[in-house]
């Protein structure tokens, strides 16, 4: 394979991130600002994040509370994106970040 250099691009930070809660994986919609807020609340440093990333481990959160919003007793709001096959379309929970400082 040949590498391709990418310069002068725009980064869209809204992403589908998975959280493990009660032994279940939930897809949540978090942008970069919310993720940074979560890390600040939790007291995580850049080195902490790098250590989890290098070890391939999920990042544990004990101080952050996520509020999940569901619609009409459905398991969650649905995210539609052309990059997903219809069968793979994940359930996405839109969240608000709260926590202890």
> Which secondary structure element, helix H or strand E, spans residue 24, and what is its range?
strand 24-30
For position 97, what pLDDT does the model report?
Answer: 73
What is d(CA 3, CA 1) in angstroms, rounded to the nearest whole number?
A: 7
pLDDT tens digits, 24-41: 877 777 888 889 999 999
What is d(CA 58, CA 52) in angstroms, rounded to the nearest whole number?
A: 7
Distances (CA, A) of 16 to 31, 35, 47, 49: 9, 12, 23, 18
Q: Name beta bridge partners: 74.
A: none
Question: What is the reported pTM?
Answer: 0.68
| Residue 4: pLDDT over 50 | yes
For position 23, what pLDDT does the model report?
Answer: 84
| Residue 12: pLDDT over 80 | no
pLDDT tens digits, 47-92: 999 999 999 999 999 999 987 765 555 554 433 333 344 455 556 6
């Amino acid at each position: 394979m040949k590498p391709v250099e990418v310069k002068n691009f725009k980064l869209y930070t809204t992403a589908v991130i998975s959280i493990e809660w009660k032994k279940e994986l939930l897809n949540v919609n978090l942008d970069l600002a919310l993720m940074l807020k979560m890390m600040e609340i939790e007291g995580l440093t850049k080195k902490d994040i790098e250590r989890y990333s290098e070890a391939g481990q999920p990042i544990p959160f004990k101080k952050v509370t996520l509020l999940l919003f569901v619609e009409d007793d459905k398991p969650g709001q649905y995210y539609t994106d052309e990059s997903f096959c219809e069968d793979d379309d994940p359930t996405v929970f839109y969240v608000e970040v709260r926590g202890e400082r």
